[in-house]
Chain A
Amino acid sequence: MNGGKPAAFDSVAAFFAQALAIEVEAAERYTLLADQMEVHNNKEIAAIFLKMAAIESEHRREIVRRAGDTLPTGIPADVSWTNPDGPEAIAFEDVHYLMTPRQALLLARFNEERAARYFESIAASATDPRISAFAAEMATDERLHVSWVDQWLETFAADELDRADDPDPPVYSE
């Protein structure tokens, strides 16, 4: 999924509100995916997703520090962006219980990259120079995350697994 068109913001606070919402959603999504992997006994991937969740949570705290006084009082429940999911959240349907660390990290990389592009486009199009500056900072952060994931990826050999090779058939439960 692409990042969609950048939103227009009427204030710096509105920008931060959305940036926060994006990070909150990304962290929550990684946590949920970690839960799914844990339930399905893929602990290795659960650990990767939890680590990604921690990165996103730290990023959220960084935004709070950076925003200082301009931070809105309440995080809006409903911040919209033009694509169905947040620009940084992994889609639920993109995972599989037998996914490999490389697959998980490539997915994470794809989403960090997507987030970077999203903030870059805001930096380029915002009319308020302060918003541009903050968006550029966000994009730099996301690029840094991409580089972290890249480093992480190097520790795993190519291990593409065909899901159709699942040796265990599904079970019935009800």
Chain B
Amino acid sequence: MNMIPATAPAFKPADYKSSVKPVWCPGCGDHSVLLSFQRALAELALPPEQVAIVSGIGCSSRIPAYTNCYGFHGVHGRSLALASGLKVARPDLTVLVASGDGDGFSIGGNHLLHACRRNIDLTYIVMDNRIYGMTKGQPSPTTEPDWDTAISPGGTGLSPFHPLVIALASGANFIARGFAGNIGGCAKLIAEAVRTPGFSFVQILSPCVTFRPDQQRGWKDLVHPAAVPETDDPARAARRLMTDDGFNIGVLYRGKREPYQPAPKAYLAPSHLEAEFAL
């Protein structure tokens, strides 16, 4: 039954929208993801100034400037590191990280492993379109082996990377997959990811209209809600993710690891430490 909330919501999705207009191609899934971000933040009722969105380089990484939150559009592949420093220094903030399959899994691959292992309370959203868009369509770690491109004529012949399996093995505490075309569904996943303490990883299948027009209709038909409910058992999750068809949508794993948050022990003036040097 549709009910009316007793009070007006504190924030509307539009409160998280900036005046900067996206440069993404019309038809790109990232437009949908941007809306999902805004809806999730409205659902979480977070004041925009309490939210920071950090990104690297690539189409997906343009997202921070399109929001009315604090943002950091850094260098290629290092968004998780930058966000980790920010969250450790400012645990009061809600920190989301936006990335793509090239930025996040290729040049930034090592940081993904260690962000999962460290389990800082971050939400990592990877818009996966299995291609490099901003450099004109080179294969990424998730590109199919036979996808023909100028830099890899006839395809790479390499098995695609399974980011969710790697995230689980590395210690991520929350693992989900969404499809950009389902704006409301992605918003729910992002909100859940933010609510879950520790490192949350959401892979969003976000079609590339320009270099992967095949995804446009194909993915819409392929995605399906995960057939089994989420698990907190890493062994079950591992089996499930290993046998996953790549199009299961929903929360796939939610663990119980405590987030890493080093904290100051005292607030002494530095001069108090000088005794250590004094003879």
Residues in A whose Cβ lies below 8 Å from that of B185? 84
**Bound-complex Cα distance A169 to B135 (A):** 12
Interface residues of A in 141-155 (CB under 8 A from B): none
Chain A proximity of B174: nearest CB distance (Å): 21
In the assembled complex, A55 has its CB within 8 A of some CB on chain B: no
Mostly, the B contact residues are loop
Stretch at the interface among A4-12, A56-64, A108-116: A4-12
B135, A172: Cβ atoms under 8 Å?
Answer: yes
Residues in B whose Cβ lies below 8 Å from that of A73? 7-8
B27, A14: Cβ atoms under 8 Å?
Answer: no
In the assembled complex, B43 has its CB within 8 A of some CB on chain A: yes
In the assembled complex, B42 has its CB within 8 A of some CB on chain A: yes
Q: Mark A110-131, 1 if CB is under 8 A from B, else 0.
A: 0000000000000000000000
B134, A17: Cβ atoms under 8 Å?
Answer: no
Chain B proximity of A25: nearest CB distance (Å): 9
The 8 Å CB contact of B181, one of A7, A39, A72, A91, is A91
A92-B28 contact given A8-B1, A170-B136, CB 8 Å threshold: yes
B4, A76: Cβ atoms under 8 Å?
Answer: yes
A80-B184 contact given A33-B26, A97-B27, CB 8 Å threshold: yes
B2, A77: Cβ atoms under 8 Å?
Answer: no
In the assembled complex, B170 has its CB within 8 A of some CB on chain A: no
**Bound-complex Cα distance A3 to B160 (A):** 36
A-B contact pairs, 29 of them (CB 8 A): A8-B1, A10-B1, A10-B3, A14-B1, A32-B31, A36-B21, A36-B22, A39-B21, A39-B23, A40-B25, A42-B26, A73-B7, A74-B5, A75-B8, A77-B11, A77-B13, A77-B42, A84-B181, A84-B184, A92-B28, A92-B35, A92-B180, A93-B27, A93-B181, A93-B220, A96-B26, A97-B25, A172-B136, A174-B135
